[in-house]
Chain A
Amino acid sequence: MSAHARPAWMEKPRPLTQAAKAVALVAVVLLVCVPFLVILSTSLASPEEVVDNGGWVLWPTEPTVQAYRDILDGGIVTHALGVSAGVTAVGTLLSLFCTVTLAYALSRPGVFGGRPVLLLVLFTFLFPPGMIPSFLLVKELGLLDSYGSLIFPVLINVFNLVVLRGFFQSIPDELYEAARLDGAGDWRVLWSVVLPLSKAALAVVGLFYAVAYWNSWFYASLYLESDHWPLQQVLRTYVVAGSGLTDAATSEGTVNAPQTVQMAVLVIATVPILLVYPFLQKYFTKGVLTGAIKS
C-alpha cells in the first residue's frame, strides 16, 4: 500500500467514484483474461468433458496434455511450428539489420542523398503499392512458394524505421564526434556507440518485427503451398474456417475431439507472444514514444 501516494492537493475520491473505477478495472482485466483461460482450459480437458459441457470448459476436472501430444506428433502442426519459428527468427534479424543500417544513415546529417531517400521512404507510407502489383512482383521474382516471400516484401516497416531514426538522432552529437576522433569508421560507431545506447528502441522494434512475422498468415495464403504453411495459416484454415484438423494434424487417426486439438493449436500460437511480452513490456512507452515524438 506504500505506492498508494496521493499528491497533497488532491482530495480523497468519493467511495462511489472509487467503486466505479474498481468495477471498470476488474472488467478490463477479466475481458482480456477470461477468453485466454477458456482456450487454455478447453485444450487441457478431456474430449468427453468438452462434449459433455457443450464445446468449452472453464476449468478442466482432469487435465490432460493428450491434445498437445497428438498435434506435436510430427504432423502438419509440428511442421508449421518450425516454419513460423524459422521465418520469425530469420525475418526479424534481417529486418533489424536493414532497418538499423538505413535508419543510421538517415539519422546522420550530411549523408549523400539523405533527404531525397527519406522522402522516397516516407512516400511509400502515404502510398502503398497495392496487393495485386505486389503479388505479381513476387511472382515475377520467382519467390512464389519460397519462405523468402514471407520476409522480403515486408522487410522494413516505415514506422519502425522512423522510430529508430528518431532514437539515433537523440544521441548527443558529442558522442559521435568523440568516436570519430578516436578513428572509428561508420560501422564501428554504429556497433560500439549507437547500438549499446539504443537497447530500449531495438528491443521494441525487434519485438514489433517478431510479432508481425509470427502473426502473419495472409501472405502465406497467397504465396505458399499448403504443406509449407506457417502456424497462423494452419490455425486459420482448421480452426477459424472449420474442420479436418484431427485427420491432417496427427500422424495417425485419433479419436480426439477436434475442439481440444483446435484449442491446443491456438495455445501454441499464442504462447510465444506471452513468453516474450513480460520482458519487453517495460520498454514500450520509452521506446515507442521517444521515437514517435522525435520524428
Chain B
Amino acid sequence: MLPGLGYFLLFHYGALAGNVIAFKDYVPFDGIWGSPWVGLGNFQRMFQDAEFWDAVLNTLWIAVLQIVFYFPVPLALALLLHTLTWTTVRRFVQSVAYLPHFISWVIVVALFQQVLGDTGLVNSYLGDAGLSTVDIIGNPDAFRPLTVAQVIWKDAGWGTIIFLAALSQVDEQQYEAAAIDGAGPWRRFWHVTLPAIRPVIVLLLIMRLGDILSVGFEQMLLQRDAVGPETAEIIDTFVYYQGMVGGDYGFAAAAGLFKGVIGALLVYAANKVAHRLGEQGVYK
C-alpha cells in the first residue's frame, strides 16, 4: 500500500498544492514559495482576456458537437453488433472496431493526414477522377467536423463495450414473451431493448455533460498549428501555450485551476443527478 499511497501524496497532492502559484507572480528563480503574492490578479487578467473566452467557447463547441454526433454512434454500433446472430462475424467486427482505441493520437492524426491530406488517398482519387481536391486537414472550417470524425474513428468501437454489456444483461425470456404476444422486431426494440439499456445511456450522457470542459487535449494540440488557434484552442491548449510556451506560469496555472474547479463541480453535480435518477454514478 505504501508505494501507491506515496505516489498519490507526492504527485497528486504535492502538485495540487503547487496550484498556489495561480495566486502568485511566479518567478522561476525564487521558486514556488519565494515568488510574490498577487492575490486574484491572475484571475482578473484571465477574465478580461478575450483569447481565454475564445478557448472556453471552442471547448464547449467541440464538446457539444461530440455529444450530438459522437455519442449515438457507439450505441448504434452496439445495437448492430447485438442483433448479429452469427457469432464469428460478430467477434471479428468487435476486434477490429476496438483496435483504434489503442492507437496513439499521434498515429491517428498521421493516418488522417495520409488519407485526407493534400496529397492523400482521397484527394488523389478526386484528382484522378478530374474533380477538384479538397483541403480538409488545414482548413479551419472543416476542423470541428474533422475532430469529431477522428473521435468516432478512434473510440466509437471501444465505446460499444459498455452498451454490449448492458444488452447482454437483457433477459432473453422478455424477448420471447414479446414475440409470442406478436411484437415484431421494432416493437421488441422499443419495448424491451430500449428500456433495458436506458439507464446506461442516461448515465453516460450525464457523465459526459459533467466532463464537458475536457475535450481531447492531445488531439487538439497536435492539429492546432495546421488550422490556427481561432478554431483549435481549447482551455487545455490555452494553459499549455500560456504556461509552457509563453512562460507565464502563474497566469496559466490560474486558467488550469479555473478549469479544474468548474470541472470538478460539474462532475460532482452530474453524479448527484445520476443518483437522483436512481443510478450508481461513477462513485458512491
Please report A residues at the B interface, Cβ cutoff 8 Å. 3-7, 9-11, 13, 21, 24-25, 28-29, 31-36, 38-39, 42, 53-56, 58, 97-99, 101-106, 111, 117, 120-122, 124-137, 140, 152-153, 155-156, 161, 211, 214-218, 222, 232-233, 235-236, 239-241, 262-263, 266, 269-270, 273-274, 277-278, 281, 284-285, 288-289, 292-293, 295
A210 CA to B175 CA in the complex, in Å? 41
Please report B residues at the A interface, Cβ cutoff 8 Å. 1-5, 7-8, 10-19, 21, 26, 31-32, 77, 80, 83-89, 92-93, 95-100, 102-107, 109-115, 119-121, 124, 127, 153, 157, 161-162, 164-165, 172, 175-176, 179-180, 184-185, 217-218, 221-222, 225, 236, 239-240, 243-244, 249, 252-253, 256-257, 259-261, 263-264, 267-268, 282-283
A38 CA to B120 CA in the complex, in Å? 10
Q: Cβ of A133 and Cβ of B15 under 8 Å apart? A: yes
Q: Cβ of A126 and Cβ of B264 under 8 Å apart? A: yes
Having A29-B96, A35-B112, A105-B1, one finds 5 other A-B pairs with CB under 8 Å, namely: A25-B84, A39-B114, A98-B7, A103-B4, A273-B102
Residues of B within 8 A of A131 (CB): 236, 239-240, 243-244, 252, 256
A-B contact pairs, 10 of them (CB 8 A): A129-B16, A131-B256, A132-B256, A152-B7, A156-B4, A215-B102, A217-B104, A262-B110, A266-B111, A277-B99
Residue of A nearest to B19 (CB): A133
When A126-B268, A217-B106 are in contact, do A136 and B172 touch as well, CB less than 8 Å?
Answer: no
When A124-B12, A277-B102, A285-B161 are in contact, do A6 and B85 touch as well, CB less than 8 Å?
Answer: yes
The 5 closest A-B pairs by CB, nearest first: A102-B4, A133-B18, A55-B119, A215-B104, A105-B1
**Contact partner, B115, options A35, A122, A127, A216, Cβ 8 Å:** A35
Q: Cβ of B19 and Cβ of A3 under 8 Å apart? A: no
**Majority SS at the chain B contact face:** helix
When A4-B85, A285-B161 are in contact, do A121 and B127 touch as well, CB less than 8 Å?
Answer: no
Q: Cβ of B109 and Cβ of A32 under 8 Å apart? A: no
**Majority SS at the chain A contact face:** helix
